[in-house]
Amino acid sequence: MAETTGRKAPVLLIVSVLLVLVLGLLGAVVYLLTRQDGKETSNAETASPRLEYATEGVIFTEDPDALQKAYDEAAEKVEESVVPLSYRNVARSEDGVEFNCYVANPERARFDMFVAIYADAGMTDELYMSQLLRPGTAYDTIRLNRALPPGRHEVYAVFTTIDEEDSVQVIRGQAAVTMEFRVQ
């Protein structure tokens, strides 16, 4: 009987070592599968993003008219910020100062408007600043602050709508476009 236990000990030792190796390999495989670009991922990183409840800008809809009222108010704010554009994209000049062009505040506009024209995309080099245009009025000629040399020039026109609140002029909306000024 002593011989039997002597033979079982090396077999148990071999089985135990193999079991440890298998568990180690299994652990290594699991580790490698859960890594992403050399970093371990947690459940928080692999889970879908979670949406939170809105706390600002929400209304309760127990009143059946509340939702329509909120929609109407939002639509009015959007409408106030819309800048109706009416202009001809190409302006021409013989002297580089007086340009034949068409820049308008259309009749459908809700607010007065002015137009600023710049020589650069950063809108720091001002070429022209109009006075206010009432809805339904337009310029057909403008005079720049300085002459442009002969050739084609891409300029940046900013249309700005203005309203008055408590005797103070406030901007309602702005839109920027490029125009081509040609000097013959």
How many Å is the maximal CA-CA distance in the chain?
Answer: 120
Token pair of 13, please?
């030792």
Q: How far is CA 70 from CA 46, 57, 66, 173, in A?
A: 38, 10, 6, 21
Q: How far is CA 139 from CA 25, 67, 80, 126, 136, in A?
A: 81, 43, 23, 18, 11
Domain 84-183 bears CATH identifier 2.60.40.2550? yes
> Residue 148: what pLDDT?
98
> Residue 152: what pLDDT?
98
- Strand residue runs (E) in 112-167: 112-118, 126-129, 137-143, 151-165
Question: Would you list the domain boundaries of the chain?
Answer: 2-46, 84-183
Spell out the per-residue pLDDT of the chain, length 184, in tens: 455 555 666 777 777 777 777 777 777 777 777 665 555 555 556 677 888 888 887 766 677 677 777 777 777 776 666 788 999 999 999 999 999 999 999 999 999 999 999 999 999 999 999 999 999 999 999 999 999 999 999 999 999 999 999 999 999 999 999 999 999 9
3-state secondary structure of 58: coil
> Residue 6: what pLDDT?
55
Global pTM reads: 0.59
